[in-house]
Amino acid sequence: MPPPPTIDGYVDLVEIGEGGFAVVYRATQQRVGRPVALKVLKAADLDERAQRRFDRECQAMGSLSWHPSVVPIFDSGITDDGRPWLSMAYYERGSLADRVRRGGPLPWDEAVDVGVQVAGALGAAHAAGMLHRDLKPENLLVGPLGEARLGDFGIAALGDAALTTTGHSSFTVGHAAPEVLRGSRADERTDVYALASTIHTLVDGQPPFRGEPGEPAAAVLVRALEAAPRRLEGVPEALADLLVAAMAKEPTDRPGGAVALGEALQEVQRSNGRTVTDLVTGATPGADDDPPGPVADREPTLVAAAPASPPPTAGDPEPTVSGRTLDRPAPPPAPATAAGAGAGGEPATTPSPDGPSPSRRGRRVLVIGAVLVVAVAAVALLATRGGDDSAAPAPTTSPSTTALDADFPEAATVVAEVPVGDLASAVSVVGDDVWVSVADDTVSRVDPATDEVAATFDAGEFPGPLVESGGSLWVNGLELRQIDPEDGQVTVRSGSQTGAGIAATDVRQGARVPVTGNPEVWSVTSASAVFRHDAVTGAGLDAIVVQGGASLEAIAVGADSAWVTNTRDESLLRIPLDATEAAATIDLIGDVEGELAVSATDDAVWVALADGTVARVDVATNEVVALVYVGGGVDSPAIAATDDAVWVTASDDRLVRIDPASDAVVGTVGFDRGLEAVAATPTDVWVTSSDVVVHLEPAAL
């Protein structure tokens, strides 16, 4: 065991615990003689960006210390060897996880009492613009009066800022919401899910998706992504129903916020004759004028009896570009009937009466993290925020902005709907072939001439984005697979995949073949790595590992570079095809709260942001030169660009067409179900929706 660090003002450090990215010590604060818990993060030498984020998170955590259900923060700093630390209250009675391990599950009414207390703490945090990110029984400490105290508030965010180079996850799989497991951004509803999962665990003694002895962790993750949580027995029906609803796969199907969940728990207490726990919520009195997130303008409130309703939320801040405020109008009204209708006015996509509603980004993505290990021959270390050499210059001109202010003509007409048998996710068009990834672990080849499925092959678990290159079909899923498009023979090329982006150097005419001589397949293989494979031989060439904080998602290939989105800091990496390091890191402009999508042509790179805007990046200057508002809400977009049109999916079930010549929306197509992916050529557009891939022909606009 290494010796404890030296921290001025603290003595008698004794290690009492270790987590994924921090070590905890019991210590004495010399000046006042009180016992404290010192949490020292494992990563050292924060860069300037991470240091600023650490300071912001510490201030935000300290601003919650007034709350009776939050572990108060006393101080923070950096050790002599460069590791961030926090000083907080020390509670010798341990956590509720310790109590369950020692004495078994809690009675349901005690667990509900805890749930109301913690819901109030979360409500206060959310009102201050802060998420917990890693709520679990281990982080619920028992206070001196027996009350629940929520600890580690924001620690996961600090881990995101400081510890991404260690390989540790900043969430606990057993209580992580599906959107987090998929690599999407967390929001208030993510904490709602974790609180419901925690209450379930306190009552049942086991998490809702517990694994059996010897069961692979991947199997547990699959259940968490796809299966309904186990329903509690021996508790009031209303409580069992509430916890199942709060752990819904789709965030929109959960209670509207922590306060809403707390009020619903109060109603369970009331209707079963139990004492109703006070729900302490609201914003911190005297909060800083510039907090780290939106702040609700209200004083602390005791909610003892009120009907369940979503809490008030602060208005969305106006986005700014180079110091200017952009007017972001509301999206246009939805069409009265689904656009792209067939004969007789039938909608372009007909929902199955028995099938489940597909989630946005319906591909079944499995983020394993440290569960599997990637074996590579050579690794090139890429520092995305390491200094001036890796960052693009600040824009010298403000990007133009285009808003929606009118109804638009039909952007395309529906040619056919091709059933593929299950939830269709990714789609790719190469030459005469259209390939679709399907949720039943297959890929299908569609013949554009007949609009029929010509072949279906096994693709392994969780097939995601796919591309044809070097005479093979490449599918990025739980494994990167090279498939013979004629007979379906599969060769596994690497493991530990995220099901994220994939691209090839020979997909578009004009893309330069790199120095290896053969075309290459570039795939996002984890949150922080991009693999390069020889598309002909399948040989692994090397991996580009992004250090300093990354959550890589989508990738596109342009004339001479690969472009990779990093949702961790809303940036775009430019990696030359014949290099193993980035030539530029471009900060994207927009109120991003989710996944990014990217598509490239020879002259421009187009990035769809989750706030309903599309950013155009000039490949000559590495600057964002235009922002186009396409509407919709905060959701996972998809995008496909050609020289003549850019096609973007909006979360309100529309396909939007942008004219690259004017950087303006020129048409839309409405659907009656969500759109998952889009691919395009100058003459055809293909979108996946539910269990079909829809073939469209661009209109002459």
Active site residues: 134
CA 588, chain centre distance (Å) = 17
CA geometry: angle 553, 556, 562, nearest 5 deg:
100
Distance in angstroms (rounded) separating the CA atoms of residues 332 and 322: 27
- Tally of residues, the chain: 701
Tell me the CA distances in angstroms from 430 to 275, 284, 625, one per residue in order: 64, 55, 29
Place of tokens 């599918």: 475
Beta bridge partners of residue 436, listed in sequence order: 427, 444
- Cβ(315)–Cβ(270) below 8 Å: no
Tell me the CA distances in angstroms from 200 to 119, 205, 534, one per residue in order: 14, 8, 48
Structure tokens given for 393: 């210059």
Distance in angstroms (rounded) separating the CA atoms of residues 404 and 330: 8
Tell me the CA distances in angstroms from 597 to 32, 182, 355, 520, 535, one per residue in order: 53, 15, 27, 21, 23
Dihedral angle computed from the Cα positions of residues 149, 154, 155 and 156, in that order, rounded to the nearest 10 degrees? 120
Place of tokens 């992580």: 176
Helix (H) and strand (E) counts in the chain: 9, 41
Distance in angstroms (rounded) separating the CA atoms of residues 30 and 283: 32
In sequence order, the 6+-apart residues with CB closer than 8 A to the CB of 372 are 218, 495, 496
